[in-house]
Amino acid sequence: MNRINYFHSLIFFNICILLSAFDFLRNNDFLILSLFLILSLGISHGALDDLKGKKLLKIFKFNSIYIFYFLYILLGLIIILTWIIFPKFLLFLFLIVASYHFGKEDSEFINLNSKNDLIYLFKGSLIVTAPLLFHKNETLKIFMDLNFDISQSFFVSNEFIYLLVSLSFLSNIIISINKDINIKSLLFMDFISVMLINFFLQPILAFTIYFCFLHSVRHSFKLSNELNNKDFIKGIKKFIIKALPLTIFTGVLFFGITVFIK
């Protein structure tokens, strides 16, 4: 798996270099295309949440999978309600959780000997801070559109952003300690790739490229390996079969809504 992830990072790194050369990508966020990719390719890496649900049910000694589906949908509704009532608090919490999630999922395949929750948080914070570092006004406008005005906050000051970017880089170094050269190279390439696309591209497009083609692909590899840890190709095929229905459904639904709105 480490070798597969290494070549994936190498390919993604070269793609990011290639994309940075196209001027027409720099001044457009390609909002519709970005949303389509996130809601189709991106969402597929969470298409097997029911497998995690079954593991949780075993832990709590429940037998019916419908309990998981009910609680899963209920949690979504609670989040929507909380967003309506406390949008600023929830978005702030979401950014923290997202940073931890990205840091953990992107490096979970590396065998670490101890708990590294803060390391994961700092590593993944680059996904939030890189667009602020290179395109602060555009990123703050996105937050404003989400009813989250932090333009005067210390958390978007240059000093704080530089600190988090430095901590993210340091986290990669800590994770790579006592690891082979492939792991060190992988972590370095991932860091540079995220910085590159955020420097040259608009925030929405940069995030889409990272989310769909680095984060989601890597997580899909992990799920495929869980489905069949003896034959990765068979695991990939099994994952595609399981994830394809939801991927097609969300893609078609998005297309239909887009046509309807227009």
Write down the domain spans for the chain: 2-261
Identity at 152, one-letter amino acid code: Q
Residue 156 tokens read as: 């978007």
Q: Which helix (H) or strand (E) holds 188?
A: helix 181-200
Residues with Cβ < 8 Å from 83, sequence gap 6 or more? 90, 91
- Using CA atoms, how far apart are residues 25 and 85, in angstroms rounded to an integer? 37
pLDDT tens digit sequence for 153-186: 888 899 999 999 999 999 999 998 888 899 999 9
Pairwise pLDDT comparison (195 vs 46), residue with the higher score: 195
pLDDT of residue 147: 73
For the four alpha carbons of 34, 23, 9 and 161, in that order, the dihedral sign comes to negative
**What's the pLDDT band for 129 if we cut at 50, 70, 90?**
very high
Statement: residue 136 has pLDDT above 80: yes
Question: Are the C-beta atoms of residues 41 and 212 closer than 8 Å to each other?
Answer: yes
What integer is the mean pLDDT of 8-12? 93
- Kindly state the percentage of the chain with pLDDT values over 70: 95
Per-residue pLDDT band for 47 (boundaries 50, 70, 90) equals: low
Which of the four pLDDT bands, split at 50, 70 and 90, describes residue 151?
Answer: confident
> Which tokens go with 108?
């979970």
Distance CA 260, CA 262 (A): 5
Distance in angstroms (rounded) separating the CA atoms of residues 191 and 188: 5
Q: Kindly state the DSSP code that residue 165 receives in the 8-state scheme.
A: H
Least confident of 9-13, 41-45, 126-130, 220-224: 41-45
d(CA 139, CA 242): 35
Mean pLDDT of 19-31: 82
Burial 126-155 (b: 16+ CB within 10 A, else e): bbbbbbbbbbeeebbebbeeeebebeeeee
Provide the mean pLDDT of the chain. Answer: 85
48 vs 2, more confident: 2
Q: Which of 131, 117, 124 is nearest to 190 (CA)?
A: 124
**pLDDT at residue 262 in the model:** 58
d(CA 44, CA 219): 10
Q: Taking Cα atoms as reference points, which of 164, 107, 96 lies closest to residue 132?
A: 164
Q: Which amino acid is at 217?
A: V
